[in-house]
Amino acid sequence: MKERAKDFAEKAHAGQKRKNSDAPYITHPIRVAERLERAGFSDGLVCAGYLHDVVEDTPYDIEDIEAEFGIRVGTLVAAHTEDKSKSWLERKQHTINMIKHAENDIKYLIVADKLDNLLGMEKDIADQGDKVWENFNAGIEKQKWYNKSIAENMYIGMDRAKIPAYFQEFEDAVKRVFG
């Protein structure tokens, strides 16, 4: 199932590029899925890692994901998918609210995604400087608010024994990038 999810995501994101680079977009979902797999999570969660941006950024919808990968994977992807009809602030506030109250698998997916984005942003800043912020819908102050809010709320309701090491990696990256 994981290989099918990877193939599906590769086809869905074909031709897309990452912000601030010419890297194929698919490199991001692959890294997210690999991080989830290294942490020892279920095949369904790893599949959701590959597929987490498909509904948001391609013509496919949740029904396509559910038909191909089942209700559980569809539920995880749906929980992580932003409603692009909403403003940037509304979408980010929804994610913050989601991470406060979501089940662990959704928290694991969101933080794996946000960590990969932030590590990419950190590299881009090192390579390109502050002009990186021009390519985002929100500048540095809003990005700082968003990422710090994720870090502050991701542990709510979690048993310490179930917190993966990459949550600390995310906190550390937030401190490095935003002070």
Q: Would you call 3 a catalytic residue per the annotation?
A: no
37 catalytic? Reply is no
Say how many C-beta atoms besides its own lie within 10 A of residue 42's C-beta: 15
| Assigned token pair, 17 | 């590029």
Contact 38, 55 (CB under 8 A): no
Q: Which of 57, 61, 66, 169 does the annotation list as catalytic?
A: 57
| DSSP code, position 56 | H
Residues written for the chain: 179
Question: 15 φ, ψ to 5°?
Answer: 85, -10
Q: In whole angstroms, what is the distance from residue 148 CA to residue 110 CA?
A: 14
Active-site position among 10, 34, 56, 152: 56
Cα 45 from Cα 32, distance rounded (Å): 10
Known catalytic residues?
56-57
